[in-house]
Amino acid sequence: MGSSSYRVCVCFTRKFKVAEVQPPSDVKEAFKEYAEGGTHMNAEQLRRFLVEVQGETEATLAHAEAVLQQILQKRHHITKFTRHALTSDDFFHFLFSVDLNPPIRYKVHHDMTAPLSHYFIFTGHNSYLTGNQLTSDCSDVPIIEALKKGVRVIELDIWPNSSKDDVHVLHGRTVTTPVELIRCLKSIKEHAFSASPYPVVITLEDHLPANLQAKVAQMLTETFGEILFCPESESLKEFPSPEDLKYRVIISTKPPKEYLEAKRLADKQNSQKERESDDDGWGKEPSSTDAAADEEDDDKIDNGGSDRNQDDEDDDDSDDKPHQAPVYKSLIAIHAGKPKGGLVEALRVEPDKVRRLSLSEQALEKAAESHGMDVVRFTQKNILRVYPKGMRVTSSNYKPLLSWMHGAQMVAFNMQGYGRSLWLMQGMFKANGGCGYVKKPDFLMKIGPNGQVFYPKEKQPVKTTLKVKVYMGDGWHLDFKQTHFDMYSPPDFYTRVGIAGVPADVVMKKTKKKEDNWTPIWEEEFTFPLTVPELALLRIEVHEYDMSEKDDFAGQTCLPVSELKPGIHAIPLCDHKGEKYNSVRLLMRFEFVEC
């Protein structure tokens, strides 16, 4: 019995052994062709490969020599000038290196001199929450984490503290534990530009009386000083550019006057919520059972005394308001607010004024259905912010593509959330060097001779075809325990590859599973015809097949198709939250076939 048991253990140990990684046939053939049949590839041969296969059309001999030295240093720790050529193993190591051969460019390359309304902007929702929307703590920690990941719009809900002499950040009408506003502001100041030099927008959901608004104005000016952008006129005719606003902090909220008028209107209506179910499809105001998540947004009319405990104080200090409001108002660079009337009025483009409008994800769906081109027209000059519906109490997120198709700049996401929608958001903002600003496609900014704009519902012809070849994967044995995927044998990996984008382009495909292999080799090719490649994201997921239970997650990433470099590249994979694994990666090839 004992010896039998011993033999079984030896069998398992043997099965867990990781085979040495061999290059795919395409890599061997590429080396043979560009090394011109020799055993080594020199810098000039490497330059030709970079230009002709990897799409690096501007690669010089000096660049190729630098890459060659990097490869030799990383692989063999060989110092400069001791060797001037690569073996086939060196060449394979280069192609499968995430650092040396990434799939996209990691530098800012978009035009950054257009108005802010011309960009998709990496935007957080309830940026101060550590977890769910109802009971989690409020903290500056998730704000810091978001800024480090390149998020450029931070949302803070500001309320009076219990003694009404200071300002707290919390999610109203919930039991979230508050954090002091000043702490959040100081953390924003410290970390604002750790990932990107481009402007940080703070959207304030303001639930304050005038005396505390004045206190906020003081906090903002003292904390940010000269980096706080203050507009020269009361309202901007056009937004400045990200380039103009480098290393600046911008405030966006409703001006106090608008806030007070909305409050008085709400009081007159005996604290009843304004109904937004008019015929033009504006959408219904959420009920209080929507877990308060919609109450924070500045385009909703305030809900009166039942929702705000400082209403009496507002009335008492009415004489001070004219003196206190101007300072606070002068700091608001991006004015928010919903005009009176329905959706058509809300989407009206004013010739001499720009502003920000917020819509819930459901309100956007309704607007897209009935007034899609009006939304696009509005976003060409003004800023549209879309935020999660109130029922997303677990901090889940919605699909962002509908918003982007209509030009919405601020697609507000729960960055502390989870799931495939968040992966898409992270994928979009890998573009343009991860700086948090992605220039919108030209078609969203064009106005035709008769005033026509892009019509998102209209099916477009295929513009380009993306061919994706999945060669192999490696690194799981380094980042996971041997028994993580299967107690008794190596994993059975397969890869899912597909497109997120406009409806006509959406598709997912998958490779066959490779049984009992830590370094699976698939060598399968997939073809994706794309009608709107500018908005397409390449979705990549690896799973481990499980016969009896749900397949295990083994990594994911999303890459903007517009940023993909042609040729053979190493694709780093991330965990559920979007954090990059240390070693897990795929080797893939991308090819574009123009129509």
The DSSP-derived string for 77-117 is -PPTTS--EE-HHHHHHHHT-TTTS-SB--S--S---S-GG
The DSSP-derived string for 31-72 is HHHHTTTSS-EEHHHHHHHHHHTS--TT--HHHHHHHHHHHH
Contact 477, 528 (CB under 8 A): no
Both structure tokens of 304: 């009166």
Q: Which residues contact 355 (CB under 8 A, 6 or more apart)?
A: 235, 334, 335, 336, 337, 382, 383
Percentages of the chain per state (helix, strand, coil), in multiples of 5: 30, 25, 45
State the catalytic residues: 125, 171
Residue 327: its H or E element: helix 321-330
Residues in the chain: 595
Contact 16, 490 (CB under 8 A): yes
Choose among 213, 220, 221, 228: nearest CA to 167.
213
Is the Cα dihedral 547, 549, 552, 557 positive or negative?
positive
Contact 458, 131 (CB under 8 A): no
Classify strands 200-206 and 153-160 as parallel, antiparallel or unpaired. Answer: parallel
Rounded to whole angstroms, the maximal C-alpha distance in the chain is: 92
